[in-house]
Structure 1
Amino acid sequence: MKTLLPKDALSALTLARLRALNAVMETGSFSAAGRRMAVSQATISQQLRDLERALKTSLFKRVANDMVPTALCQDIYKTSREIEDAGLRIAKILSQHSILEQGELRVGLGNPLPGMALVGAFQEYFPNVNVKIEMGSWGKIFQAVTEGRVDVAVLPEVPDAPRFKRRKIQSQSVVAIVHPTHPLAGREEVSCLDLLSERLIFRTAGSSTQRVVDEAFRHAALSPRASIVLDTRDGVLDAVVHKLGVGFMWSKGASRVDGFVQIPCREMRKERADYVFSLSSTEGTLPEVFFAFDAQKF
């Protein structure tokens, strides 16, 4: 065999030829290699003939129905596999860059905070990503995750189950909220018994806030009656601002601070964690980046 100069060998070792060599090495035949690479058997054969011609050597010998690699081919394969893997890594980097430049991310939020703050920090760092936000009750957003309508969500009290992956981002508790002129506004703390005689503003079923409120009254062996039932947090805030009664909200659940006063409730003081979470099966660069995104580090 005539020895090739290094520059001649490099010009012969195109990525297409090396990929064909790898495919035949790993599948054992031209036809199987063609199926793996979604090309014809003739294309694989041509790539290897061109490589053998350029290298001035044989790489495979046919034995019965199998293609048996020569010792030289086996040595080349060790490095050609690394070259193809490196090419795949480069392609992934380019794909990720493209996605982070012009991709779309679907986010579900149960409360404006902390979700909106996280989305805002994320978009500041990745300004070209199109973020679509779905907001609603805990039940609605949880269902949106399980049905795949959103890629990732921010909610309190996400189940610790294998089907989900979750990351804690903060803790908060449910508090009572009243108008600043309400008799309870100056209290440092109230109890469920204190609230029983008030006009109470509840959330609809499926709300994480309402689940905590219901649990607190049950624990106190009390049966409250709602004066108003609303399906949104903003509706509860507006009702309190208009002096329609005592509402409830997560203590860090809104950026709005005017028109109402937060009062800790003794039976609701336990803090619950907020999580960014998705289905364990969710794949894709943007959901993975958002899931791991820590606004404090950027």
Structure 2
Amino acid sequence: MLRSELRSFHAVAKHNGFSRAGKVLNISQPTLSTQVKALEQRYGVELFNRIGRDIRLTVPGHELFEITSRLTQAERDAENLLDTFMGFHSGTLNLAAVGPFHATDMIVAFKQKYPLIDVEVRFGNSSRCFERILSFDADVGIIAEVPQDDRVTTLPYSVHDVVTFVHSQHPFFQRDSISISELEGERIVRRETGSTTRIAIENELQNRGISVKTVLEMDSREAIWKAVEQGLGIGFVADFEFVAHPNLRAIPIADAKVKTNYYLAYLTERAQSQNHRILLQGRAQPH
């Protein structure tokens, strides 16, 4: 019974609620509540703080969730290992990526070699992708400027220049390049905290003593592109991520080396799992 109770606890913690967890496990909410309550009563511990319909993990709950995350991933790894004896004909690869561009290259190469393995990908900034790796929600991440963490192995993947991009009515639009000093006083539409593109350009501006005016902060590339197109300000993006558009143009910064480094990242303890071996051995290189 303990295994069922732990599975129920893990689902509630992962999906942040009994209702969502019940839908994922295809069992009723009362059954989930009963199993979690039985677990708490058996060991005399409170795993969730319940405030109305909201729940929050307690300190013991957080510690248990870390363990059940490892158990759940170990079970998936065991299933994937057994799949190797069938020629990689089933299984799922979970990928976290800072954007679709690198991820698409990797997924195409992976699917060509292993067409019957499902691929699930979630996008977010580097900080969020790193969290998904640590929480066992992602097998591999494609992230930039990863923090130092002994639990995670990183492999260099690619390096790209950061460029500015402007709308068709901006004075920079007809330019082949600009000097970084020309950004002084420019209106900026910037990414959210945790974006490595934002960190790279802001560090360079600060080092050069250049001041800009932030008019908007947005958490998606698409939203920033739309805001720049509407003339609200200029934006910054890694060069390979810029998508050609008649009303937008990417302009290199000629006298500054503003770059973002991209890495493949995965939990060190899972280096020998099926998904890591087949992905890292034949990984696609970005264009």
Give the TM bin, normalised by the shorter chain. Answer: 0.5 to 0.7
Q: Within 2, Cα distance between the matches of 1:117 and 1:288?
A: 18
Query: Is the partner of 2:175 in helix, strand or coil?
Result: coil
Aligned mates of 1:127, 1:99 — CA distance in 2:
11
Aligned residue in 1 for 2:55: none
Over 3 Å counting, the alpha-carbon distance change for 1:159 and 1:97 in structure 2 is farther
Counterpart in the other structure of 1:149: 137
Distance 1:270 1:223, change over 3 A: closer
Q: Report what 1:174 is aligned to.
A: 162
Equivalent position SS for 1:252: helix
Percent of aligned positions that are identical: 23
Contact preservation (8 Å) 2:187, 2:212: no
| CA-CA distance at 1:100 after TM superposition | 2.2
* 1:116-154 Cα shifts (integer Å, max 9, x gaps): 211122112211111111101121112111222111011
Alignment length (residue pairs): 205
**CA distance in 2 between partners of 1:268 and 1:110 (Å):** 24
CA distance in 1, matches of 2:82, 2:193: 45
1:45-60 matches, within 5 Å, as none
Map 1:75-154 → 2, pairs under 5 A: 95-98=83-86, 100-154=88-142
TM-score if structure 2 supplies the norm length?
Answer: 0.64
Contact 1:100/1:286 (<8 A) preserved: no
* RMSD after superposition: 2.4
SS at match of 2:205: helix
Match of 1:257 among 235, 241, 244: 244
| Alpha-carbon contact 1:167-1:291 (below 8 Å) kept | no
**Residues 218/130 of structure 1: CA separation in 2 closer, same or farther (3 Å cut):** same
* Structure 2 portions without partners, runs of 5+: 1-79
The 1-side partners of 2:267 and 2:241 are apart by 24
Match of 1:295 in 2: 284
CA contact (8 A) 1:152 1:291 kept: no
Helix, strand or coil for the counterpart of 1:206?
A: coil
Residue 184 of structure 1 deviates from its aligned partner by 0.2
Aligned partners of 2:235 and 2:279: how far apart in 1? 32
* Cα distance in 1 for residues equivalent to 2:91 and 2:280: 15
Q: TM-score, normalised by structure 1?
A: 0.62
Contact 1:176 1:248 in 2 (8 A): yes
| TM superposition shift of 1:189 | 2.4
CA deviations on 1:227-284 (whole Å, 9 max, x unpaired) are 1110111211222223322001111125x32242111224652433321111111252
Residue 225 of structure 1, CA deviation: 2.3
* Greater Cα shift, 139-148 or 192-201: 192-201
Letter aligned with residue 244 of structure 2 = V
Question: Residue 182 of structure 1 aligns to which amino acid in structure 2?
Answer: H
SS in 2 for 1:101: coil
- Is the contact between residue 114 and residue 252 of structure 1 (CA under 8 Å) also seen in structure 2? no
Distance 1:111 1:130 in 2: 19
- Post-superposition offset of 1:93: 8.0
Partner Cα distance (2:259, 2:220) in 1: 21
CA distance in structure 1 between the aligned counterparts of 2:103 and 2:251, rounded to whole angstroms: 23
Match of 1:229 among 201, 214, 217: 217
**Contact (CA 8 Å) 2:145, 2:261: kept in 1 or not?**
yes
CA contact (8 A) 1:175 1:268 kept: no
Question: SS state of the match for residue 295, structure 1?
Answer: coil
Give SS of 2:116's match: coil
Distance 2:219 2:81 in 1: 44
Q: Report what 1:216 is aligned to.
A: 204
Q: Is the 8 A contact 1:137 1:232 kept in 2?
A: no
